Amino acid sequence: MLAWTIYISFLGALVLLLLPSRSAALVRVVALATTLVTFAITLTAFLQHRSGEMFTVVDHPWISSMGIHFSLKADGISLTLLLLTGVIGVCGVLFSWNIDHRIKEFFAFYLVLIGAVYGVFLSFDLFLLFVFYEIVVIPKYFLIAIWGSTRREYAAMKLVLYSFIGSAMVLVGLIAAYVVAGSKSMSLGDLAGYHYSPHFQMWAFPLVFVGFGVLAGLWPFHTWAPTGHVAAPTAASMLLAGVVMKLGAYGCLRVAMTLFPLGLAPWGFHVLGLGSWRDVFAVLAVIGILYGALVALVQKDFKFVIGYSSISHMGFILLGLMTLNQIGLSGAVVQMVSHGILAGLLFGVVGRMVYSRTHTRDLPALGPMHLSKLLPFAAFTFVIAGMASMGLPGFSGFAAELMILIGVWHSYPTLIFFVGIGLIAGVAYIWRAMQQAFFSGSSAIVVQPEHPLPPITFPEKLGAGILICSSVIVGTFPQVFLNVIHPALNSPLFQGLRNGGW
Amino acid sequence: MEGTGMTETMNSFPWLTILTLVPIVGALAVLAMGGRNKSLVRWTALAFSAISLLITLVLWHSFNSAADGFQFQELHAWIPSLNVSYRVGIDGLGLLMLLLTSIVVPIGMLASWQIEERVPLYFALVLMLQTCLVGTFTALNFFHWFIFWELALIPAFFLVRLWGGSGSAKAAMQFLVYTMVGSVAMLLSFLAIFLSTNTFDFSEIATMGQNGTLMPAVVAKLGWHLLTPEHVALVIFFGAFLGFAVKVPLFPFHTWLPSTYAEAPSGTTILLTGAMSKMGVYGFLRILLPIFSPEMQKVLNLLLWLAVATVVLSAYTAMAQKDLKRIFAYSSINHLGYCLLAIFAVAKYTGGDAALTTQKFAAMNGVFLQMFNHGLTAATLFWFIAMLEKRTGGVRGLDDFGGLRKVIPVFTGLMGIALFSSLGLPGLNGFIGEFLIFKGSFPLVTWATSLSVIGLLITAIFILGVIQRVFSGPLKEKWAQLPDLTLGERLTLVPVIGFMFALGLYPQLILGVVNHTAIQMAIHLRNF
């Protein structure tokens, strides 16, 4: 049934393109209905498959001569991320209710994007995964280039180029893996079970990891992200930062780390205190956390603050992956969900609630507008989102970061201090942005916006409400997700990783 | 397990959860009401705080003051993978803090009656703060305790920021960043402890701390080869210590306090000084001391110097202030410094000496009483300042007044009582806590206690100075028409002042309930 998430999304896109373009309302309703149905499917699947074990959704031979199957499977980790995609998909549509320029094409591209994302999370055949991974890029380009804002063509091109370079690296690694394993099968299970030589894994792992890492915002390959997210229209930013970046992290975990676990082993020598690719990526992750936070702290553009904060939060995910213990890895998966929700909320407030009304994102200019009085709901939502983003207990960010930090204490205690600084910087940039955007300005200077700001609409409130509730649920009952994530991490697929014992 | 013996059946009627939830329900109700009928909003908020007070009094009445361990416990599984359970309960200390909170919050609300802007939001934030306070005082598991500890910062920040004075932006930000840094350090320390012991439960960790098994487990797990085991233990201790030291505050982590107290609206300052500062001392008593007393013993002299500096320097600085709110802000630091002096004295290694152990009991009781009495007295003092501000249109400088006793005699009389209580006059509630602290600490840490006496002297000087400068002397023309206390104000003040006398003359009212807990806390500390 989960396969229908992919089919319905693509079908929805097709339906939209065939609709007469007169009725904007009909277009929106169709888009919303499509995302709601796919969300319902993911939710049902999540609730049904309590065990978290890998199960097959679809398995057909496709190009049998090359051992490629149309093979879709899901385990606890996939189910969690599919659920995230479902929620963000719905909320993205809600936050885009006001788009009036070429609405059909917008939502069509949107649905294709969502469908491809579902495809990546479900794919068990690496060729299929790569196909979906590439399909994701195309709607991204158009969404940014046509409906975006600041420097949109440049941002779209940069994003696409980086994505393709990353994908190319992944492709080389995957083909190498396929060939070395005898060119018999592209199934993840088969390839993960094959014993590649340590020497092979030692170069294949970083290649594939960095390839996926580009999309995950791994420092220093992250520069496409802030530009891209800022240029993108709100819904696209929500999807990009919220879900698509998680594709990269998912690829790191599901593909790179399962196929080539020995690539994480110690080299036997040290360079600058680093003794393995694991050390390298852990340090890069921490640099990403700090860099993202510190750069966010000095931004004048509200959306850039959020863009850089995404880099910082993705750093936590990558660090969690490198801890290689159950609690750190589970924390990384929960952080994928948490940041997905919170990025959605933050871009929703900044892009949809504020920017589409004030037509400025410049923090010093927003202050005198006294937005906390003009747009109290936006202020309230940003406060909640900001609190959650900085790791306030009770919300999803805290639960995730708690687990990652415990994992880091276990594996890299020396890095803890730097992560602590990152946490504090995280508090600082959120509060600064919040103060300047909503609560700044003495009453002496009041700048009236050129036209009265329209009130916050119902779809926006609904979208914000859904996301806030989701964050609170994940934050107060993380056990629900841990129940399916832990069995997935203990499955045979991750055996090589567990055997590492480093 | 010591300290967790249950005298009631597990999961008896969930009083504590209800007490935590009542204010949040009130906050939602108040927000839903909107701002049209401000008076209704205020009375509704007050009503909810009255309900909390009632529930607390019921708990006070049903509490078994001779029993060990925690009462009214509730235990539910929550996040088994992280060994986090929802566990709440109170002993004498927790109950005392709940009583203090339920008295201070209504006082804070009454002092905020004249706020006109965004009234529903103000009172909703106050109620939210009350929930967080109740949560911190009843939680027995770090995860859930930390949630409330951190969440309390949100209402506090906005209360200072949105209704505060001209410097409130900077003050609120400073307050936030300081507290956050402390909290992050504390979080990291407790995560290291969790990694080593696989528990977040305070009682379990405390048992390990007292057995001497905690730090070896932490050292073994962390595998830091750069530091010696003793240093690792101290680093972990320092992280947790920082979180609490910022909150109390302890010198030199106190610099956020005076601006924040001064810039906040007086109703909020009441909450900050009356209840929130006690979160820090409570943290020292409930968490830091039982878990880390071996580490505290190793750095005891440093800690004592910090306590002495807190006591003496803050009193000295208070004396130099011209703003009434700043005077009592620094005075708050001073009064809580005595608590920390006593706590450090109790932590001291005394072997099995029975006489010194008895002194520890006295010091511990002193801390409890001082926490409660300072909360009550400071809240009342800031309430008087709020009433004065209301009459003078915000003026509250020491040099702005003089001779007020001629114009507002009843106000002078009642505020005078509160001032004398703050000074520590016998017969009023402020005396007994300080007396027990000094009596208990003197034999234990003689030099530190002797130096702290200077704090008492300076406090006497500046409080008498306030009385003289504000109430005696020549009257300024512009204040000749100041209205005295209204009937409503008198009706609400008199019970509080009466309570101050009652506690001063008959401290057994509180001691009877908390004494056993104080003794148990002191006994369970390892002396090695």
Question: For A145-176, what is each residue's pLDDT tens digit?
Answer: 998 887 888 999 999 999 999 999 999 999 99
- CA pair distance A459, A463, nearest whole angstrom: 6
Give chain B's length: 528
* CB pair distance less than 8 Å for B188 and A482: no
> Among all residues of chain B, which has the CA nearest to that of A402?
B191
Cα–Cα distance measured from residue A201 to residue A182, given in angstroms and rounded to the nearest whole number: 16
Chain B nearest-CA distance from A471, in A, is: 15
Instruction: Give the single-character DSSP code of B81.
Output: G
Q: How confident is the model at residue A442 (pLDDT cuts 50, 70, 90)?
A: low
What pLDDT is recorded for position B9? 44
Query: CA torsion angle for A255, A261, A267, A270 (degrees, to 10)?
Result: 70
* Residue whose token pair is 């013996």: B5
Do the chains contact at B162 and A424, CB–CB below 8 Å?
A: no
CA–CA min distance A479, chain B (Å)? 5
What is the model's pLDDT at position A454? 83
List CB contacts (< 8 A) between B146 and chain A.
393
Chain A neighbors of B81, CB-CB under 8 A: 330, 478-479, 482-483, 486
For residue A372, the model assigns a pLDDT of 79
Q: Residue A379: which pLDDT band, with cuts at 50, 70 and 90?
A: confident
Instruction: Quickly list DSSP for A367-406.
Output: GGG-HHHH-HHHHHHHHHHHHHHTT-TTSHHHHHHHHHHH
Q: What is the pLDDT of residue B8?
A: 41
Nearest to B3 by CA among B417, B521, B522: B521
Chain A nearest-CA distance from B65, in A, is 34
- Asked whether residue B7 carries a pLDDT value surpassing 50, the answer given is no
Structure tokens belonging to residue A128: 């299929």
Q: Is the peptide bond before B294 cis (omega within 30 degrees of 0)?
A: no
Nearest to A479 among B81, B166, B221 (CB): B81
The C-alpha atoms of residue A326 and residue A320 are separated, in whole angstroms, by 10
CA distance linking residue B156 with residue A108, whole number of Å: 46
Nearest Cα neighbor of B496 from B301, B317, B270, B300 is: B270
Res. A502 pLDDT band, cuts 50 70 90: low
For residue A187, the SS3 value is strand
The structure tokens listed for A307 are 């863009």
How much is the average pLDDT of B307-321? 94
Asked if B430 contacts B373 with a C-beta cutoff of 8 angstroms, the reply is: yes
**B365, two tokens:** 């009781």
Q: Choose from A370, A406, A414 for mutation: most chain B CBs within 10 A.
A: A406
**Range with the lowest mean pLDDT among A269-278, A356-365, B7-16?**
B7-16
Q: With CB atoms and an 8 Å threshold, state whether B191 touches A479.
A: no
Of A365 and A386, more confident: A386
Q: What is the pLDDT of residue B16?
A: 92
Judge: B188–A393 Cβ closer than 8 Å, yes or no. no
H/E element holding B471? none
Chain A residues touching chain B at CB-CB below 8 Å: 327, 330, 383, 387, 392-394, 398, 402-403, 405-406, 409-410, 413-414, 416, 420, 423-424, 427-428, 431, 435, 439-440, 442, 477-479, 482-483, 486
Residue A63 has pLDDT above 90, yes or no: no
Nearest Cα to Cα of residue B111 among B49, B176, B30, B171? B49
pLDDT at position A66 is 82
Banded pLDDT at B186 (limits 50, 70, 90): very high
Closest residue to A413, CB basis, from B80, B146, B223: B223
Query: Distance between CA atoms of A188 and A177, rounded to whole angstroms?
Result: 10
- Top pLDDT among B117 and B303 is at B303
Residue B4 CA: distances (Å) to CA of A46, B1, B89, B523: 39, 6, 10, 14
Q: Which of A330, A423, A431 sits opposite B184 (nearest CB)?
A: A423
Residues B340, A294: Cα–Cα separation, whole Å: 36
Q: Which of B143, B176, B224 sits opposite A413 (nearest CB)?
A: B224
Asked which of A96-105, A490-499, B497-506 is least confident by mean pLDDT, the reply is: A490-499
- Is residue A501's pLDDT more than 70? no
Whether residue B1 has pLDDT greater than 50: no
Contact B195 A420 (CB under 8 A): no
B188:A420 CB<8 A: yes
The mean per-residue pLDDT over the stretch A223-232 comes to: 90
A416: chain B residues, CB-CB within 8 Å: 188
Mean pLDDT of chain B: 89
Q: Which residue has the higher pLDDT, A500 or B20?
A: B20
User: For A113-131, b where at least 16 C-beta lie within 10 A, e where not — what string?
Assistant: bbbbbbbbbbbbbbbbbbb
Contact status, residue A337 vs residue A77, Cβ threshold 8 Å: no
A457 confidence band (pLDDT: 50, 70, 90)? confident
Chain B positions in Cβ-Cβ contact with residue A439 (cut-off 8 Å): 161-162, 169
Q: Which residue of B has its CA nearest to A395?
A: B147
Distance from CA of B331 to the nearest CA of A (A): 30
Confidence tier at B6 by pLDDT (50, 70, 90): very low
| Average pLDDT of span A43-69 | 84
Q: Pick B98 or A441 by higher pLDDT.
A: B98
Which of A409, A413, A486 has the CB atom closest to B81's CB atom? A486
Q: Residue A48 pLDDT more than 90?
A: no
From the CA of A419, how many Å to the nearest CA of chain B? 10
- What is the pLDDT confidence band of residue B527, given thresholds at 50, 70 and 90? low
Band (pLDDT 50/70/90 cuts) for residue A346 is very high
Question: What's the CA angle centered on A137, arms A133 and A139, to 5 degrees?
Answer: 125
Q: What is the mean pLDDT of residues B397-426?
A: 90
Confidence bin at A445 (pLDDT 50/70/90): low
- Is B188's CB within 8 Å of A405's CB? yes
Range from A35-39, A497-501, B120-124, B165-169 carrying the lowest mean pLDDT: A497-501
Cis peptide before B14 (omega within 30 of 0): no
Evaluate if residue B352 carries a pLDDT over 80.
no
Chain B hits for A327, Cβ within 8 Å: 82
In this complex, which of A330, A398, A406 lies closest to B195 when CB atoms are compared?
Answer: A406
Assign B528 a pLDDT band (cuts: 50, 70, 90). very low
Q: Given the DSSP bridges, would you call strands B84-90 and A274-276 parallel, antiparallel or unpaired?
A: unpaired
Report the percent of chain B where pLDDT is more than 70: 97
Task: Check residue B499 and give its pLDDT.
Answer: 92
pLDDT at site A175:
92
| Of the candidates B286, B279, B355, B343, the residue with the CA atom closest to the CA atom of residue B310 | B343
Q: How far apart are CA B4 and CA B440, in angstroms?
A: 27
Burial label for B517, CB within 10 Å (0-12, 13-18, 19+), is buried
Which residue in the set B79, B150, B176 is minimally distant from A479, CB to CB?
B79
Q: SS3 for A77?
A: helix
pLDDT value of position A181: 86
Nearest chain B Cα distance for residue A410, angstroms = 6
Residue A413 to residue B184, Cβ atoms within 8 A: no
Residues from chain B contacting residue A393 (CB–CB below 8 Å): 143, 146-147, 150-151
Q: Do A393 and B184 touch (CB under 8 A)?
A: no
The span from the CA of A451 to the CA of B144, in Å, is: 46
pLDDT at res. B3: 41
The answer to whether residue B331 scores a pLDDT higher than 60 is: yes
Q: What are phi and psi of A298, to 5 degrees?
A: -110, 10
Nearest to B56, CA basis, from B294, B288, B372, B455: B372
Mean pLDDT for all residues in chain A: 89
